[in-house]
A and B are shown apart, each in its own frame.
Chain A
């Protein structure tokens, strides 16, 4: 997550003013560092394992989806970011 500094003043009708400061927090998107497929290449009909390596700059937890040729791959239970697909 990155942040932006905010500074300003607030002034009333009498001309009195006070400065203020603040921070705008910018939430960055996840970073996908790799998508690995194993085995690959392989003959048609082979069960492949697709592994997504990703991190979140804020340290937030991530959820994943995976489609092969428009078809949902099967998530592997207990292994976030890991899917199987026969292709």
Chain B
């Protein structure tokens, strides 16, 4: 860390002057948190590329007002919540962004940002969240402001939850605080949460963190809950948001397939139903360990409606690329929808792809694997898979049958 000298003077009307000195501490020479895309429109589920900070895509959940989410400079965003502001998807009062990418269970997640609560009425709500790490099954940790005092909670809705930090004093409005977070999400003693504010460690928690349900995403902004609780404007600035997700170790290569008929993909019936996929093309990654001949594609529907179309795409740098094969459209049936299709396949990574013509058709999900969805009208599968959104830890009951 380097320092820069600061010299200030205060001079009165009599001409007398006092000089004082200070230093500016510069932690490193690399700035993080550059905002490379900024579109504050909420509910950008289909285009999170419209909001990119520090190279990470974000979804937006706000009331969509002019003041809800603004960009102050290339590194600073500002959230404001006024009385009556509600996010239309759940009618709660919030101005937030959340990462598309999840921090994987049993991985280390690091984050830093600067945080400024703007001058205004002291918050007397019984809870007001300004940073949350979310997962499907809970909230591994959150930072909230109660009477303007900073609180940190772990797994607040669970019986193993803790409150590792309560600031005895309110934070100073208008002052910028440098926050740094490091967390490991695990069901056992290997979990931990460390947090620093202005360089001083305020949280050093070790133990279970999260419920290992589906990875964790972080939310920044203001979440106040029911609209009636917001009686005065609240504004918070975040700058230099830096996010470091730890890539999971690559899975071991699957063993070679034995000669004969093999099924590759998810052959079990997942516990979770999924619907509402009309107007989308969806896929999931599979690895074929041995060259083989494709014979059919099978997709499970718990509830059948409309038509179904199945296909196979070759992988291109972790995303579905060009189409390899496509089965003709057919009426969906409850149970396994097996559609014959042939193609010669080399060993490698592929994407099983499907479209459904009805929102009422319900596939089944398991919590593992890598999936993708993109906007696409029901019809012949495109020669190249369109730009889409990756979803980790999700796969449908969907497999291909090959002959080795």
Query: Given A39-B176, A43-B27, A87-B26, are A29 and B8 also a contact pair (CB < 8 Å)?
Result: no
Say yes or no for B14: interface residue by CB 8 A criterion. Answer: yes
Query: With the chains together, A42 CA to B7 CA distance in Å?
Result: 19
- The answer to whether residues A67 and B175 also contact, given A27-B16, A41-B26 and a CB cut-off of 8 A, is no
The reply to whether A69 and B18 contact each other, CB–CB distance below 8 Å, is no
Contact partners of B17 in chain A: CB under 8 A: 29-30
Given contacts A35-B20, A69-B4, A87-B24, contact A45 B31 (CB under 8 A): yes
Residues of B close to A62: CB separation below 8 A: 10-12
- A37, A43, A61, A65: the one contacting B22 at CB < 8 Å is A37
Looking at the assembled complex, report how far the CB atom of B24 sits from the nearest CB atom of chain A, in whole angstroms.
5
| Chain A positions 64 through 85: 1 when the CB is less than 8 Å from some CB of chain B, otherwise 0 | 1111110001000000010001
- Which of B8, B13, B114, B240 meets A50, CB within 8 Å? B8
Given contacts A46-B114, A64-B8, A87-B26, contact A52 B16 (CB under 8 A): no
| B6 interface hit (Cβ, 8 Å) | yes
Pairwise interchain contact B20-A42, C-beta atoms closer than 8 A: no
With the chains together, A17 CA to B89 CA distance in Å? 94
Give CA–CA (A56, B13) in the complex, Å: 9
Known: A49-B176, A87-B4. A32 touches B18 (CB 8 A): yes
Residue in A38, A64, A67 whose beta carbon sits within 8 Å of that of B11 in the complex: A64
Report if B169 contacts A (CB, 8 A).
no
Q: Given A44-B29, A44-B30, A46-B31: A30 and B178 within 8 A (CB)?
A: no
Query: Is B13 a contact of A60 with CB atoms below 8 Å?
Result: yes
- List B contacts of A67 (CB < 8 A): 6-8
Check if B25 sits within 8 Å of A29, measured CB to CB.
no
Which residues between 20 and 62 of chain A lie within 8 Å of chain B, taking CB atoms?
27-32, 35-50, 52, 54, 56, 58, 60-62
A63 touches B (CB below 8 Å): yes
Contact: A66 with B7, CB < 8 Å? yes
Contact check, B5 vs A43: say whether CB atoms are below 8 A apart: no
> Is B31 a contact of A43 with CB atoms below 8 Å?
yes
B24 x A68 contact (CB < 8 A) = yes
| B16→A29 contact, CB < 8 A | yes
Q: Which A residues are in CB contact (< 8 Å) with B175?
A: 36, 38
> A52 contacts B10, CB within 8 Å?
yes
Contacts of B178 in A (CB 8 A): 39-42
The number of chain A residues with a CB under 8 A from chain B is 40
Nearest-neighbour CB distance to chain A for B308, whole angstroms, equals 51
Contact of A39 among B7, B19, B32, B177 (CB under 8 A): B177
B247 within 8 A of A: no
In whole angstroms, how far apart are the Cα atoms of A54 and B311 in the complex?
72
Which residues of A have CB within 8 Å of B240?
Answer: 42-43, 46
A residues less than 8 Å from B28 (CB atoms)? 43-44
A69–B28 Cα gap in the complex (Å)? 17
Which B residues are CB-close (under 8 A) to A56?
10, 12
- A63 → B minimal CB distance (Å): 5
Asked if B9 is at the interface (CB within 8 A of a chain A CB), the reply is yes
**Residue B90 at the chain A interface, CB threshold 8 Å:** no
Contacts of B32 in A (CB 8 A): 43
B110 to chain A, nearest CB (A): 14
Residues in chain A near residue B7, CB distance under 8 A:
66-67
Write out the residue numbers on chain A whose beta carbons fall within 8 Å of the beta carbon of B66.
none
Residues from chain A with Cβ under 8 Å of B19 in the complex: 32
Q: Measured between C-beta atoms, what is the minimum distance from A83 to chain B in Å?
A: 8
In this assembly, does B252 line the interface, its C-beta being within 8 Å of a C-beta of chain A?
no
**CB-defined contacts of B11 to chain A, threshold 8 Å:** 30, 62-65
Between B6, B10, B16, B176, the greatest number of chain A beta carbons within 10 A of the residue's beta carbon is seen for B10
Q: Are B24 and A37 in contact (CB under 8 A)?
A: yes
- In the bound assembly, the distance between CA atoms of A60 and B18 in angstroms comes to 14
Q: Is the CB of A61 within 8 A of B12?
A: yes
Alpha-carbon distance A50/B21, docked complex (angstroms): 12
20 residue pairs of the A-B complex, CB under 8 angstroms, read: A27-B14, A29-B12, A30-B12, A31-B18, A32-B10, A35-B20, A37-B22, A37-B24, A38-B177, A39-B176, A40-B178, A41-B1, A41-B199, A43-B31, A44-B28, A44-B31, A47-B239, A52-B10, A54-B10, A66-B8
Q: Closest 7 interchain pairs by CB?
A: A41-B25, A54-B10, A32-B20, A39-B176, A35-B22, A29-B16, A30-B10
Tell me the A residues contacting B by CB distance below 8 Å: 27-32, 35-50, 52, 54, 56, 58, 60-69, 73, 81, 85, 87
